[in-house]
Structures are given as C-alpha cells and as structure tokens.
Structure 1
Amino acid sequence: MSDNSPNVICPSSGEQDIKDTEIAATEAASAKCVKIQQDDHDTPYAEKNNLERQTKLFECNKNLIDKVILNYIIVKQILSNLSWQDKLLCEHVCTTWNSAIKTLRREQLGPGDFVTDFRTHSLTCGTVYKQSITFCNNPMVVMTFVNTSGFSMSCQCKLIKPNPCPQPCKKEHCLIDVVHKFSCAPNDCMNIVRSDYITYMPLPQSVTYKHTITHLKSHPFIGGLYIPVIPDVKYHTINIKSNGIMQDDFYSIVDEIAKDRTFKGVLVYVTDKYLLRSVEHIVFLNYFKDVQPNVPYALGGCIIDDTIFEQRDINGIVEGVNNGNDFISENLISMGLFTVPKESPSKDYNFEMYSFILESSDWSKVKIQQAITEFSKRVPRFEYSVALKLSCVGRDRKHKWEQECFRAVFPYTRIIGCFGNGEIGVNHPAKPAPAESINSVKRHRRDSGPQFGIVYSYSTVFVYIGWGKMIQPK
C-alpha cells in the first residue's frame, strides 16, 4: 500500500459554502447536537442482522461477469481501493471476493493519520475531516488526541466535509463523533486522550502535513493515528476507576493476559482525578516486570486531563454538548497494552515496541540530538512505524527541536502525542552505563526504590512502534 494515496474530501466551492452557511444559519435556532447514525450496511453487520434493501435488479453481460467480477487479479485490484468498512460487505459476495479481501488484509498493514481542519477563518466556519491514506484494513486501535478547546466542539451537519449523514440533516454533530464515524465505526476501538496541548507530525508527502504542530498551540485540534489489525498482535485496554478495586481492574487482568501472551508495550494515561501525591502511587506498574521478569517492554505515558476508552462515553459527550456541560469520565488511569502470543508467533510479521526518555538534564540542543541519535542506533527500522511523544509542558521551546531531531533519524515515522504535567516511561533498550574514569572514586548510595526510573518531570518520553519487514536506514 502506498503512503501517497490520500483519501480526503476537499471542501466545496466558495459559493456553495456561502449558500450552505446561509441555509444553516436559518436553522441554527432549532438545531441540536445528535448522535450520528451508522451507515445502513454497518449497523446490520455489527448487530449480525440481515440487511433488507429495496433494490432493482438489472441484467449484466455474463461474459463481463466472468472477465471482471470473477477474475481474482482484477477483483483484488479494485477492492484494494475500498475502505475497510466497505470490505466488510464485499467479502460476503462470493468466494473470489472473500479470498481477495483476506489477502489484502495481510498486505495492507500500513498506518495512517487523520485530522480535523477547523475552518474558523473562512466564511463557513465549518470543518473538514482529512485522512492521510484510505484506511484499508480493520483497525486494531484508533488513537485520538484532542485538546480542551476542541473536545466539545460541534458543527452543523451541512458544514462538515465529508458529510457524516447520507443526506445532510438539520442538526449539529459532535466532532469527536464524526471522527469515530469515519475512522472506526462500527468497531469499538477508538481511544481518546484529552490534554491541553497536542503534538502532531504526519509525513511530509501527506495531505495532512500542513496541520503539523511542533510547539504549544491552544486552537481547537482533533487528530490521531490509525493502526490496522496486525497478525498475532492484540491490543488490550484497562480502565481503573477506583483505588478500591485495583485488584480486579489491574492485577487480575494482567495475570489473565500474561498466561499465554507477552507484553510488548504499555501506554499509560493518568488523569488529573488520580491524586498522584507521590511517585509511589504509580509503583504498581512494576507488576509487568513481575509477570515477565526476563522480557523487556516499552513503557510510556503522562498525566493528562481525561481519557475516553469506552465507546458509550461518546453518548455522554453528545449529551454534554446539548446541556452545556463539560463531559468528564470516571477514569483515573487508562492503559493500552500491546501483546503477542508466547507460543508459535508468526515468522512472517515482526512487531516490536521501544521507548526512551529525554530527562530534565537533556536540556541543550546538543544533548537532545545526541540522545535521540543514540536511541536510533539501538533499534531496528521497520516497514511500518508510528511514534508517540509524551512530553512535559515545562520543556517549553524544546518541543520543536525534539520532533525535528526524531523525524531526522526516523523519516518515515508519523509522530503524535500530548503534553502533560508528569511523564512515565522506561528506557528500552536500556541506556548504556556511563563510562567511569579510572581515577574516579565509586560512591555508594542508598537504593532510591522501585518507583524511581518510572516517573519523571520536565522530560519527554518517545514510544516507537514498528512492524512488518525490517529494513535498513538510508
């Protein structure tokens, strides 16, 4: 699959936009934010019901059917351009189509990114949803990052491009709901992270690249990463809503997963409702070391405003828009876990995760560039990759330099993330110990405890996720 195949609907002409604005303005008084309905063919598929359609049959030349519809090579080429939602329906047409789609799912493993373009300076004041590529495969996870000013934003259905309803309705839609409709509906696999500031850096050849954010900005923003289903890889979520049931919410789930799977990486988002009075309150994350003491894993996270890891919470966001209230989830800590099977993993697909920390002492440009370059030398390159950047707001103007240095050594890797008030991470692979001078005196000091080496401040954590064929950097 090519990274240069954009799937973006451009806004209509200026005259049409002005006309839409005038029509929408007359309906604004009665417009309310409503939940977007799924497409006709998506709903029955998700609910496993039959789809009854009023269709008119037409005769087709049998020779044409034999040459096109039943030709595997032609069918595969045609179906390769469809979105994954359309493939769900097409795989039930016949055995030839079903076989072609199964093959495409093994081949179309590239990630993508998306963004909402808020046209606040135009006459329409609408929004355009953009994707860097066609999302061709079932999504394993759609990571969505939204800042405070964009979280509860809604827009007239007629002013959203592409339109989320088959026939533009007269109501408003929450833009978080719009992202869900176009990226992962009807699947329940979208994770939303809400933070005051977001970072976003697509590939230079992408149609979304002009929306790159390399420093702190407060204008409304919704963007994210799409990671397709990868053979053998599973994505698990954990939502901790109460300290009192930590055993059920965390330890029991980790124990169950660890029976037959290996943790490759852990993403941790601590909301500001979790009173992190001391770094000792996050020491339970070391439990991953207990369940797999000899297998390292990547770890990255930060303290943010809120998370939405359950799809039903989108209904709460819509209700909050109607009532003028800011929706707040009950999540204290949300986690995303990437795992692979312990036994008989596929040899055809590689999947690895790595993480490293730019500590508060890595403040100068020289140190930042050196640390990122050294990390890049210790990890392999993959055919497909994405990266998360989880950073402290207090690093201020270092953010732009950090992203540009990372892009320089990983030129084909999309970067997205957020800024918080405390970072969580480990160095995997471990950083080499600093060389000691022969004349230096070795000093002994008291063990700082297991919680240190996990929680940082004034730092940046990069999490690199790679899969597919291993390639050499140019």
Structure 2
Amino acid sequence: MSIDIPDCTKLPLSEHIEAYNKRNKVTREHVDSIQCNQDLVEKVIYNYLIVKRILKNLYWQDLMVCKHVCKTWHAAIKSLALECRGPREFGIIFKPGRSEFIKSGNLNVRPLLVLTFICVKYKEIMIRECKSIVPKTCQPSCGEYHCFLDIVDKFTNAPKDCMITVICKKSEDRFIPLPVEDVPYNSYFVSGLYIPIIPQVRCRRIIIRPEHPFHCLSITSSIDRIVAKNEIFKGVIVFASNDMFGNALNSTVSEHLKEVQPNVPFAIGGCVTECTIKHSDVKIKNNTNALNNIMSIIAFTVPKNKENESNFDMFSLILDSKMKTKDNIEHITIF
C-alpha cells in the first residue's frame, strides 16, 4: 500500500546551504557589486543590536552559515536561540494567484521535530507552480511544479531529517494553527508544528512499516535500545493507521513503556491516520510512491541524571468531543 504524490520537481537546497553542508566553496559568476560607504557598512554589520534585528528574520539554515562571519554575529545568533521558547505553527494557504507559506513566528533555531499534517483528500492538489509560491523557493523561479511537502521541508527541515508527515483521514482531525488575520482556519491545506531544539532533549523516532515481519518485537527492541543509552522518556506520541488503531500493537507500546519506566506521559496522536511519512523516504521525482508507515512513534528523552531530571516535561490532555472547538483549544499551551 502506498500514497501517491503528484509528479513534480524536487526542490534543491539553496546553493549556499548545500555548499556549507558539503564544506565546499560557492562560486558565483556575473555578480554585480554594490557601491556602499565602507565606514557605514562596518558600523552596521558590527553593531550587535542592528545585526540581531536583521538576523532574527532569517531561517535557521541561513543562520547556520552566518554564525561563522564574526564574533558579533555568532553572539547575536546564540542570543536568538536562547530567546526562542516554545513551538511555532505554520501552514500553506491558498490566496488568489498564489500559495503562501505562513508561520506564527521566526524559524531561526534548528528544529528538534517538524510535524506536518495534511488530509488524504487533498493529496491530489498538493502541487503548485514555482512562480505562484510565496516566499520564493527558487531564485529565479524555475517554472516547474513543486510539492507542498517539499516546500515545507525546504523552509523548516532541510538539510536536517526530522520531519514526520501525518496524513489524516478527515480534514477536521488534522492540526490547525491558531487564527491569523484574514486567514480562516479551514483554509489550510497543509499545517504543522515546528518544535525548536531544547537543551539536553532528544527526539527519537520509531518507524513501523508494513514489511516489518515482527512489529511488536521491532518496537520493544527499539525502546530497549533507547533505555540502554541511559536516557529517560519524557513523553511518547503514537500516530497509528486505521489498521493499527486499537490494535494489540498499541497496547504493546504502552505496556512495554510501563515496564521499562513507569509514569511516562503517553498519548495516541489525536486522530486516526491514513499513514505517516518520513520525508527522507519521499521520492518527489520519477517515483511518486511514498512509503506508507503503519505506525510512527515519537519519543522525547533526556539524559539519565538528576541535573536534567526536570528540564523538560510533557502532559497529556484529552478533551471531550463537545469541547473540541477552536475557541476552547486556542488558549491551551502544549509545551
């Protein structure tokens, strides 16, 4: 079983990000120089407050490069990381003539986890022409079509591999960002949660695929390997397909966690999913089949010592169905 992703062109990493990732030099030809007052330029680029205000608007991938410019820039970027407290929400919405990637805050800190949600009924309209995407994904526009999942990956995840996509069976079951001015909450075709890195916290992903012959054994052995690394579970989220929802496999996860570490906050992901996708498994071009994972387990852990015992906590919250309205949910803080 597989999920079909419409055929389109894979988005490459930005030239400077790919060069940095491979430790190569970027050679640009025919670049026009801009004549500026050198004294004024130096006063700006070495002014900590000005630099910080400019850099906070960049994505974390750009800051990964910028931190090597000088001590002032490095200090400003380090300060921005310390100021980032809590997750960011994002989504892709349709507007006349364009598709826009919007976010609730700056994505200027490396992600710990990117959770993306789409509805299975939208998968056939998940591509848009490059020139209609805002912000620009290619400079200049390539004229090709790109997949929404790839757009989210470029802005939030790449070149890391920490993105999980949850394909929901019903549109009302997916994660919806908090209201944005002039953006109805039901206009999001893709939405998600961006969790920045947290000191000492690790995000472990256990992916179960249909071809795994012994599902229960795969899960328990993966949990045991995490415990063997002297890590404490701080919370576990499980996204299961319809076939696995309520299956003995779910019980295996919760029961084994109780055996290795009692009182672990544990939650089913909040909806019955069609499947989950690890983005690095998606073949955007020439092969439109994305692997269908029947279960994805996301475990947050910290080192097993008293100093880190209370630096991160998760809570499980269950709402009665009559409470599941936007007005009741929008004031709840997850982390």
TM tier, shorter chain? 0.7 to 0.9
Offset, 1:194 = 0.2
2:17 is the counterpart of 1:42? yes
2:272 is the counterpart of 1:343? no
Q: Which string of whole-angstrom CA distances, capped at 9 and with x for unpartnered residues, describes residues 325-371 of structure 1?
A: xx352422111111122225459x8421111334xxxxxxxxx4xxx
Specify the alignment match of 2:221 in structure 1: 252
Specify the alignment match of 1:95 in structure 2: 71
SS of 1:354's partner is coil
Offset, 1:58 = 6.8
Query: Which of the numbers 309, 332, 341 marks the counterpart of 2:294?
Result: 332
Specify the alignment match of 1:234 in structure 2: 202
Change (3 A) 1:90 1:172: same
Contact 1:105/1:137 (8 A) holds in 2: yes
Specify the alignment match of 2:28 in structure 1: 53
Specify the alignment match of 1:353 in structure 2: 314
State the distance in 2 between where 1:200 and 1:33 align.
25
2:62 is the counterpart of 1:139? no
Contact 2:88/2:195 (8 A) holds in 1: yes
State the distance in 2 between where 1:212 and 1:257 align.
38
Offset, 1:233 = 1.3
The correspondence of residues 244-283 of structure 1 with structure 2, limited to 5 A, is 244-246=213-215, 249-258=218-227, 259-272=229-242, 274=244, 279-283=247-251
Query: Which of the numbers 275, 278, 287 marks the counterpart of 2:256?
Result: 287
Q: Which amino acid counterpart does residue 161 of structure 1 have in structure 2?
A: V
SS of 2:57's partner is coil
Contact 2:237/2:267 (8 A) holds in 1: yes
SS of 2:272's partner is strand
Query: Which of the numbers 270, 274, 289 marks the counterpart of 1:305?
Result: 274
SS of 2:299's partner is strand
SS of 1:352's partner is coil
Contact 1:191/1:307 (8 A) holds in 2: yes
Rg comparison, structure with higher value: 1
Let me know the Cα RMSD of the aligned residues. Answer: 3.0
State the distance in 1 between where 2:57 and 2:290 align.
38
Change (3 A) 1:175 1:58: closer
State the distance in 1 between where 2:286 and 2:280 align.
11
The correspondence of residues 393-412 of structure 1 with structure 2, limited to 5 A, is 398=322, 400-401=324-325, 403-407=326-330, 411=331
RCO higher in 1 or 2 (8 Å CA, sep ≥ 6)?
A: 2
TM-score after normalising by structure 1: 0.61
Change (3 A) 1:246 1:317: farther
Offset, 1:223 = 0.7
TM-score after normalising by structure 2: 0.84
Q: Which string of whole-angstrom CA distances, capped at 9 and with x for unpartnered residues, describes residues 207-230 of structure 1?
A: 4x73324xxxxx872111111111
Q: Which amino acid counterpart does residue 226 of structure 2 have in structure 1?
A: I
Alignment length, in residue pairs?
322
SS of 1:186's partner is coil
Alignment gaps of 5+ in structure 1: 1-31, 214-218, 321-326, 359-367, 369-394, 414-464, 467-474
2:201 is the counterpart of 1:225? no
Change (3 A) 1:280 1:298: closer
Contact 1:109/1:137 (8 A) holds in 2: no
Contact 2:119/2:174 (8 A) holds in 1: no
Offset, 1:304 = 1.1
Specify the alignment match of 2:133 in structure 1: 160
Change (3 A) 1:220 1:226: closer
Alignment gaps of 5+ in structure 2: 1-6
State the distance in 2 between where 1:263 and 1:155 align.
40
Contact 1:138/1:228 (8 A) holds in 2: yes
Offset, 1:74 = 3.3
Change (3 A) 1:296 1:149: closer
Change (3 A) 1:190 1:292: same
Q: Which amino acid counterpart does residue 169 of structure 1 have in structure 2?
A: C
Offset, 1:404 = 2.9
State the distance in 2 between where 1:117 and 1:237 align.
28
State the distance in 2 between where 1:344 and 1:162 align.
44
The correspondence of residues 45-194 of structure 1 with structure 2, limited to 5 A, is 45-54=20-29, 63-64=39-40, 67-119=43-95, 122=96, 124=97, 126-152=98-124, 153-194=126-167
Change (3 A) 1:351 1:74: same
The correspondence of residues 315-394 of structure 1 with structure 2, limited to 5 A, is 315-316=283-284, 319-320=287-288, 327-345=289-307, 350-358=311-319, 368=320
Change (3 A) 1:262 1:129: same
Q: Which amino acid counterpart does residue 101 of structure 1 have in structure 2?
A: I
Q: Which amino acid counterpart does residue 234 of structure 1 have in structure 2?
A: R
Q: How much identity, in percent, do the aligned residues show?
A: 35
Offset, 1:62 = 5.8
Change (3 A) 1:260 1:110: same
Q: Which amino acid counterpart does residue 145 of structure 1 have in structure 2?
A: F
SS of 1:315's partner is coil
Contact 1:180/1:190 (8 A) holds in 2: yes
State the distance in 2 between where 1:222 and 1:51 align.
33
SS of 2:237's partner is strand
